[in-house]
């Protein structure tokens, strides 16, 4: 069902996660790239990001436990296990070929007015919709009872709304202030001349942690981590089965990022780095491999409604599923150089 309040607040958290990482560390929040780095050459910053995602369960359990994502059962048959590995491999292959997924291309790329990201999004979205319609022709999902139109809005109680606002406010304030306090502490300890370099900066690691925390909270609160929530959005244009919640992620996640970038730009360096580390390729660098990769990712996303960010959260909740899907993701990325 359409959840405008939860999804709107969750999208704001996603905006804060990507903005926090961009203007403090100078990095784009791309989960598929972070995962590959974790598998091949993990750094303290990469590990901090995923520790932050795992830590999201603490404030969720304390304030809004009912919004912790409930996942389908873990596969118990060889066929189901192979399917999970296969879908992970498709997503791994597609994101490697197209250099990103929904986080890097949609949340971060569109807001930077990246032509490559616009082409990627314009490719994987319709492919995902088509895949979902072909593989699941009934379009029914567990989050949308067949007797009620899925676009019907439902609203949280006043108590839940207050808890959500408190959760978002405290998390965002912590993400904005704690890294600065960490920087001030270490500067006071070692002196300005001996501050740690970018690669070893505790403030950068704290920023990565809180960006991961905000990102995971945003996925849970918006319910974008729920596979059926995604596939219900992919049921468009079948209005009876269409949940428009994901559109609010664009409205309250991508648009605020775009406005902030238009206002701040990239002329001044980020707080904890000498310069921004942004993708250098432009729309002129788009080739067949890139577009094909975006389409392959769209197929994998449309099959189960799971992309890398939500897959990390499901792996934390269901380690066996995580081993299967992440194993497939890694194998899929190894297919292309």
Mean pLDDT to the nearest integer, 119-126 = 97
Which among 229, 249, 243, 254 has a CA at the least distance from the CA of 304?
Answer: 229
Residues 6+ apart with CB under 8 A from 206: 48, 178, 179, 182
Mean pLDDT of the chain: 93
C-alpha to C-alpha distance for 99 and 45, rounded to whole angstroms: 20
Tokens representing 321 are: 């599923």
Band (pLDDT 50/70/90 cuts) for residue 72 is confident
pTM of the model: 0.95
The answer to whether 68 touches 269, Cβ cutoff 8 Å, is: no
Q: Which pLDDT belongs to residue 194?
A: 52
Q: Which pLDDT belongs to residue 297?
A: 98
Band (pLDDT 50/70/90 cuts) for residue 65 is very high
Q: Is the pLDDT of residue 139 over 90?
A: no
Q: Is the pLDDT of residue 164 over 60?
A: yes
Q: Is the pLDDT of residue 198 over 70?
A: no
Residues 6+ apart with CB under 8 A from 318: 71, 74
């Amino acid at each position: 069902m359409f959840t405008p309040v939860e999804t709107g607040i969750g999208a704001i958290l996603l905006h804060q996660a990507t903005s926090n990482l961009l203007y403090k560390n100078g990095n784009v929040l791309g989960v598929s790239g972070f995962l590959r780095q974790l598998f091949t050459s993990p750094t303290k910053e990469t590990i901090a990001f995923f520790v932050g995602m795992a830590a999201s369960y603490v404030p969720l359990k304390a304030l809004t436990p009912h919004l912790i994502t409930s996942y389908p059962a873990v596969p118990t048959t060889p066929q189901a296990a192979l399917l999970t590995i296969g879908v992970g491999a498709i997503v791994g292959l597609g994101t490697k070929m197209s250099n990103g997924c929904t986080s890097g291309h949609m949340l971060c790329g569109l807001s930077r007015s990246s032509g490559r990201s616009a082409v990627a999004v314009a490719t994987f979205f319709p492919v995902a919709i088509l895949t979902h319609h072909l593989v699941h022709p009934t379009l029914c999902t567990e989050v949308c009872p067949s007797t009620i139109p899925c676009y019907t809005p439902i609203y949280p109680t006043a108590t839940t709304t207050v808890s959500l606002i408190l959760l978002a406010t405290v998390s965002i304030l912590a993400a904005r202030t704690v890294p600065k306090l960490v920087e001030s502490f270490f500067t006071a300890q070692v002196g300005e001349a001996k501050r740690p370099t970018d690669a070893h900066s505790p403030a950068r690691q704290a920023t990565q942690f809180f960006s991961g925390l905000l990102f995971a909270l945003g996925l849970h609160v918006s319910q974008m981590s729920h596979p059926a929530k995604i596939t219900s959005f992919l049921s468009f244009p079948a209005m009876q089965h269409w949940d428009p919640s994901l559109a609010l992620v664009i409205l309250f996640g991508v648009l605020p990022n775009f406005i902030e970038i238009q206002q701040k730009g990239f002329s001044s360096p980020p707080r904890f780095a000498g310069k921004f580390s942004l993708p250098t390729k432009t729309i002129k660098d788009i080739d067949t491999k890139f577009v094909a990769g975006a389409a392959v990712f769209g197929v994998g996303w449309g099959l189960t409604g799971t992309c890398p960010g939500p897959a990390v959260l499901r792996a934390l909740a269901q380690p066996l599923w995580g081993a299967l899907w992440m194993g497939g993701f890694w194998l899929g990325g190894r297919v292309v150089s």
